[in-house]
């Protein structure tokens, strides 16, 4: 169930596997990497994480390893219809991208 507190919209902290997904539109801002992940079933989401964690990231499909994220929401106002989901990169172990 989604929860709302004074500062953000929260979603259950279940890890979402990224294996099989396609990475595109990589941008690095200081120590944060942002990219778009498109799943095998067709949905896509903006992902963010520390550059240190995402070692070896490049455009392509994740073919092996353990890559997981947690869904979060950004809210710029009190209007929940403006909430924007993104995935926070949490696990990046032995990831191979082709």
Q: Give me 98's structure tokens.
A: 């082709």
pLDDT of residue 79: 79
Do 92 and 47 contact (CB within 8 A), yes or no?
no
Q: Give me 83's structure tokens.
A: 């909430």
Query: pLDDT tens across 39-92, in order?
Result: 988 999 999 999 999 999 999 999 999 999 998 888 777 777 888 889 999 999
Query: pLDDT tens across 7-34, in order?
Result: 555 656 778 899 999 999 999 999 999 9
pLDDT of residue 2: 53
pLDDT of residue 16: 86
Q: Which domains are present in the chain?
A: 3-97 (2.40.50)
Neighbours of 7 (CB within 10 A): 7
Do 13 and 3 contact (CB within 8 A), yes or no?
no
98 has pLDDT over 60: yes
pLDDT of residue 82: 81
Distance between CA atoms of residues 86 and 98, nearest Å: 23
Q: What is the model's pTM? A: 0.82
pLDDT of residue 89: 95
Distance between CA atoms of residues 37 and 87, nearest Å: 9
């Amino acid at each position: 169930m989604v929860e709302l507190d004074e500062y953000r919209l929260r979603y259950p902290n279940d890890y979402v596997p990224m294996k099989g997904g396609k990475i595109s539109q990589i941008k690095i801002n200081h120590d944060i990497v942002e990219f778009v992940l498109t799943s095998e079933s067709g949905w896509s989401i903006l992902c963010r994480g520390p550059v240190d964690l995402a070692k070896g990231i490049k455009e392509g499909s994740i073919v092996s390893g353990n890559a997981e994220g947690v869904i979060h929401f950004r809210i710029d106002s009190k209007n929940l219809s403006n909430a924007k989901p993104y995935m926070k990169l949490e696990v990046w172990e032995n990831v191979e991208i082709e």
